[in-house]
A and B are shown apart, each in its own frame.
Chain A
Amino acid sequence: MAALARLGLADDRVQSLVGELNGILEHMDVLQQVDIGGASLDPDATHGMRMRDDVPNPIVLSRAREEFAPSMRDGFFLVPRLATHGTAESADDEGDE
């Protein structure tokens, strides 16, 4: 479990954690006795919550798009020319376009 959670734990800590977690999980066993037949898992059931319309909204950025790139032209990010589209020398000559 620690490996799944990407936690490096010393052996002695593992032993104490096993005891603590087992103790906590014992209290969860009560849920196995509950009749959940009446619990609707229908995703459309709102259970009193109001839901917004399921329509796409524009993605609002917390910072202006221009702040993410050093330079832009005509609404597009300017990036270094790919090496496959010319020699490295010519790419350097032509700048970051």
Chain B
Amino acid sequence: MSDSLLLSRSVAEVAADIASGRLPRDAALDASLAVMESANAGPGGLNAVLWSDAEGARAGVAALTLNPEQRLAGIAVAVKDNIATRTMPTTCGSKILEGYVSPFEATVIARLRAAGAVIPMKTNMDEFAMGSSTENSAYGVTRHPMDHTRVPGGSSGGSAAVVAAGVTRIALGSETGGSVRQPAAFCGIVGVKPTYGRVSRHGLVAFASSLDQVGVFGTTVDDAALGLQVIAGVDPLDSTTLDVPVADYRAARGATGDQPLAGVVIGRPVEYFPESLDPRMRALLDRSADHLRALGAEVRDVSLPHTSLAIPVYYIVAPAEASSNLARFDGVRYGLRVEGDGLRGMYEATRSQGFGPEVTRRILLGTYVLSAGYYDAYYKRAMAVRRLIADDFTKVFAGGVHVLLTPTTPSTAFVAGSRSDPYEMYMSDIFTATANLAGVPAMSQPIGRIDGLPVGGQLLASHFDEATMFRVGYALERALGTEAHT
């Protein structure tokens, strides 16, 4: 079977074939490594893959004790470079962590391995996950697989590009304000941000701890649902995970009948459809809503009145937390050290040379909004407005709405270097940051194209109700068929 043909089948099917011996155990890994080469995914090409470990992955596959319980038997999974692995560096796309190899592995990595997966590559990202284009990496810009002049989105742009280029069908990213959903939308794939507390953050390098979650990319809804199924669940190493049963996210994959969404209420928040929204994007969302109605769902307009405040709130809360979390990178404990005048001089020289411009900007912003005299005006007020944003979601879901449908991004993938104003770049997250602030699950899936570039539709659900979100996602994907990619 050719590499591309093997990778055209769902992960669940290929893993089942490997687990049962119908396919050689190294078939999926070999296919991924071959496509990584042919797609030129590394430096000099897409620059989506920062570090690779083919030998280690092959050894991992050879050592597998195959059994039918392994849902990812022999499957290669790409992992964002801010998730700790022992076999490859974990640099967060930063010079300050150049060459750093973690002495332990993240819980999500352990769960992938326990399910039979292997990790042959780490992917490029905006430095410390701060960015929306993967232009902020110390290791160079990642290119959009369909148009190399454009960005793949960010901050998990490397993982999105790898899946979109067909190298792997599942990849891990991380979400703080939309860093999985936005690149998934730009690259025409599925991206999921779970409920805060659904997936362990142990081993995910902290950016903004009250917002961060590990997310999953998939070629299809089923690939993403399977990936989340494997990594979800309470973890004693992360006290913010909750012991809530993990539902069968793939339960709706085979739903048949004319009305698979009967009884489901879909809300369309009017604030996500401003007059300034590209009419072609609005039309694609309307088409999706029509499909959902035809599948039996009720679609109604709702209001999340504090939506427009999400970006100002996010860009106070996230930098505030980042300024604290990134204080640990001081030349003493990790990676880069630049000698200076005394201990303080060493700290300052290391951090100023180790951090890039966007990280420096956000650390300063976070330090400012937490400083005496400005704390009440900025941070405390932002936290109050964050509550209002979360309450908006609580009220809508309490009102009988099960899932919200919105655009994922205000635009398609933009040209690299075209957004030099920081705030203009921040506005890329305008439709995604709300889910992180409120802690609710959300996913992006392809719903069509504009000028040949992918457009993502976003589905959001109430806390820990990923199952209903996937139910709608499966139905919409099936109804759209090839329309999702044309």
Contacts and interface: CB of A to CB of B under 8 A. Distances in A.
Contacts of B360: 7, 9, 17
B224 to A, nearest CB: 23
Given A17-B361, A31-B385, A47-B438, A57 B423 contact: no
A5 B323 contact: yes
A2 B364 contact: yes
A48 interface: yes
A45 B391 CA distance: 10
Interface stretch (A34-42, A69-77, A79-87): A34-42
A9 B361 contact: no
Interface string A3-32: 011111100000001001101110110111
Contacts of A52: 239, 242-243
Contacts of A7: 348, 351-352, 355, 360, 363-364
Interface residues of B, number: 62
B349 interface: yes
Contacts of A34: 306, 309, 381, 385, 388
Contacts of A27: 311-312, 315, 423
Contact of B394 (A28, A36, A47, A51): A47
Nearest to B203: A62
A57 B348 CA distance: 38
B367 A5 contact: yes
Contacts of B315: 24, 27-28
Given A31-B313, A48-B394, A48-B438, A8 B364 contact: no
A49 B439 contact: yes
Interface stretch (B13-21, B132-140, B288-296, B339-347): B339-347
B73 interface: no
Looking at chain B's contact residues, the main secondary structure is: helix
B463 A57 contact: no
B444 interface: no
A58 B37 CA distance: 46
Contacts of B388: 34, 36, 38-39
Determine the interface band of chain A, counting residues with CB < 8 A from chain B. Answer: 35 or more
B104 A32 contact: no
B326 to A, nearest CB: 9
B367 A21 contact: no
A20 B242 CA distance: 40
Contacts of A63: 103-104
B378 A60 contact: no
Nearest to A8: B348
Task: Name which of B244, B311, B327, B352 has the most chain A CB atoms within 10 A of its CB.
Answer: B352
Contacts of A21: 361, 364-365, 368
Contacts of B272: none
Contacts of A5: 323, 351, 363-364, 367
B63 interface: no
A5 B329 CA distance: 11
B393 interface: yes
B273 interface: no
Nearest to A51: B242
Contacts of B352: 7-9
Contacts of B312: 27-28, 30-31
B236 interface: yes
A47 B423 contact: no
8 contacts: A5-B351, A25-B365, A25-B368, A27-B312, A31-B382, A47-B438, A48-B440, A50-B244
Interface of A: 1-2, 4-9, 17, 20-21, 23-25, 27-28, 30-32, 34, 36, 38-41, 45, 47-52, 57-58, 60, 62-63
Interface of B: 103-104, 196-197, 202, 236-237, 239, 242-244, 306, 309, 311-313, 315-316, 323, 327, 330, 340, 344-345, 347-349, 351-352, 355, 360-361, 363-365, 367-368, 371, 377-378, 381-385, 387-388, 390-391, 393-394, 397, 421-423, 426, 438-440, 462-464
